[in-house]
């Protein structure tokens, strides 16, 4: 099989990863083989092996790219968040996308061989997310340490379960599902903590 058109090495790699992503999202991880990607790209399987080596290396490269894009999108959304509610909304939406079977990253993170490679980094990212939530929570609410830890665990569990419900395909409206989840978490937070006055919130955020 000959190449239909010549691409630069970077463009070819991007093309192959784009095809792999589309294949995973439409047909599942098991359908994403070197041969299938090569056929869709109009190249030989040997060329795909040249760029990525094994099939698992191809999937790993795709996960690396999608995870980097995911993290970048979350950071950009958090940079625009100005309240605890908005921060919670970012993470609820992120969990929904991360655990979705409709997304390549959601499916790839469920592959044991790939998950094992990234476990330490993902734990670090989780701790970073927790710090962001603690800062936002502390800025807006009065809460001691034990209450803060409880609220975060409760909110995290609710967010993950909401994502699992979404994964089961039982939500007709994604935005409404996110909104209900956020309101549920905030109701729990407000039942356990006291709202800070505006001047105190400003002081905490700028300290």
For position 90, what pLDDT does the model report? 93
Classify residue 81: in a domain, yes or no: yes
Interstrand relation of 194-195 and 141-142 (parallel, antiparallel or unpaired):
antiparallel
Global pTM value: 0.79
Q: 194 with 104, same domain?
A: yes
- How would residue 78 be classed by pLDDT, with cut points 50, 70 and 90? very high
Q: 126 with 191, same domain?
A: yes
Classify residue 4: in a domain, yes or no: no
The span from the CA of 45 to the CA of 42, in Å, is 9
Q: Express as a percent the part of the chain with pLDDT over 90.
A: 47
* Tens of pLDDT, residues 12-63: 999 999 999 999 999 999 999 999 999 999 999 999 999 999 999 999 999 9
Q: 77 with 178, same domain?
A: yes
Note down the domain range covering 188.
65-206
Q: 38 with 136, same domain?
A: no
Q: 124 with 38, same domain?
A: no
Q: 46 with 139, same domain?
A: no
What is the CATH classification number for the domain harbouring 33?
A: 1.10.10.60
Give percent helix, percent strand, percent coil of the chain, each to the nearest 5.
80, 0, 20
Number of domains in the chain: 2
């Amino acid at each position: 099989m000959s190449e239909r058109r010549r691409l630069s090495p970077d463009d070819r790699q991007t093309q192959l990863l784009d095809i792999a992503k589309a294949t995973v999202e439409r047909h599942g991880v098991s359908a994403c083989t070197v041969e299938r990607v090569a056929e869709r790209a109009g190249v030989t399987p040997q060329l795909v092996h040249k760029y990525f080596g094994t099939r698992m290396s191809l999937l790993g490269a795709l996960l690396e790219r999608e995870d980097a894009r995911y993290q970048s999108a979350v950071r950009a959304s958090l940079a625009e968040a100005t309240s605890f509610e908005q921060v919670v909304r970012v993470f609820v939406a992120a969990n929904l996308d991360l655990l979705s079977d409709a997304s390549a990253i959601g499916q790839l993170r469920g592959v044991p061989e790939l998950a094992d490679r990234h476990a330490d980094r993902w734990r670090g990212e989780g701790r970073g997310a927790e710090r962001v939530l603690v800062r936002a929570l502390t800025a807006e609410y009065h809460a001691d340490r034990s209450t803060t830890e409880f609220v975060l665990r409760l909110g995290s569990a609710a967010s993950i379960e909401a994502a699992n419900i979404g994964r089961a395909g039982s939500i007709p409206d994604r935005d409404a599902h996110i909104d209900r989840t956020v309101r549920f978490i905030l109701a729990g937070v407000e039942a356990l903590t006291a709202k800070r006055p505006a001047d105190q919130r400003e002081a905490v955020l700028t300290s």
